[in-house]
Amino acid sequence: MSGRELTLLTEGRIELLGRIPRSSNETFLVQVCCGDDAAYAVYKPEAGERPLSDFEPGLYRRERAAYLLSESLAWGLVPPTVIREGAPLGIGSLQWFIECDYQEHYFTLHEDAPETHPELARIALFDYVTNNTDRKSGHVLRGHDGRIWGIDHGLCFSAAFKLRTVIWDFAGDPIPDALLKDIAPLAQATPPDVAELLDDDEAGALRRRVQRLLHDRVLPVDRTGMRYPWPLI
């Protein structure tokens, strides 16, 4: 994606269009406009977050951190995401809206589109690195251009291991050397712009997860059979 997306997200005037249904937290479709240029985005205000016992308020920061981490790896898995303080319902995340066929999701892609398997496996790796607690099938999208995206990263980066995902089809597969090389720097230091959105325990846990991946060199295996989100889609 080009700088246009970040310009619109960062500087654009935000117009609320409506609430996105079936979201655990209040999530809104908005239009962002700069002059004659306009696009859709997904707005998640802190004020609309459901209180959780295991995550502090401010899940929007984790949405932004996941985007920044994906960009630091040059993986481009997460749509451009910014934090906007002056949004209509208060501070929250603003993420580029992905145009796609919403009948497609992880399960259909894995079964019907084997050419997507390398990208799906990379999302599985990203989810372990970020300790994603909520990788539902519907959180994997294929854009109209064929590009694979991961969305909904508000429940990531916990210091306690909480991985819950539907992507277990690649468990035990060797991690390609190129991807191990990409994540290797994270074993020593969390990118500063990501670290400032996390606490010290969370940043330290991220480094330890990467160290384990570099040691094992395979995608994680769920030996409990219980590390699934609900609902699955």
Domain boundaries, the chain: 3-216
> Residue 1: what pLDDT?
62
Radius of gyration in angstroms for the set of CA atoms belonging to the chain, rounded to a whole number: 17
Q: How far apart are CA 80 and CA 97, in angstroms?
A: 9
> Residue 2: what pLDDT?
63
DSSP 57: S
Residue 99: both structure tokens together: 């145009």
Q: How far apart are CA 83 and CA 105, in angstroms?
A: 26
DSSP 25: S
> Residue 17: what pLDDT?
96
C-alpha to C-alpha distances, 174 to 89, 118, 160, nearest whole angstrom: 45, 12, 25
> Residue 21: what pLDDT?
86
Q: How far apart are CA 165 and CA 132, in angstroms?
A: 7
Q: How far apart are CA 40 and CA 170, in angstroms?
A: 33
Q: Which CATH architecture has domain 3-216?
A: Orthogonal Bundle (1.10)
DSSP 218: B
Cβ-proximal residues to 68 (8 Å cutoff; 6+ apart), any chain: 191, 193, 194, 197
Q: How far apart are CA 149 and CA 53, in angstroms?
A: 28
> Residue 131: what pLDDT?
98
Whether the CB-CB separation of 14 and 32 falls below 8 Å is answered with yes
Q: Tens-of-pLDDT digits for all 233 residues of the chain?
A: 668 999 999 999 999 999 998 888 899 999 999 999 999 999 999 999 999 999 999 999 999 999 999 999 999 999 999 999 999 999 999 999 999 998 999 999 999 999 999 999 999 999 999 999 999 999 999 999 999 999 999 999 999 999 999 999 999 999 999 999 999 999 999 999 999 999 999 999 999 999 999 999 999 999 999 999 999 99
Q: Mapping DSSP to helix (H, G, I), strand (E, B) and coil, where does residue 77 land?
A: coil
Cβ-proximal residues to 127 (8 Å cutoff; 6+ apart), any chain: 135, 150, 163, 165, 167
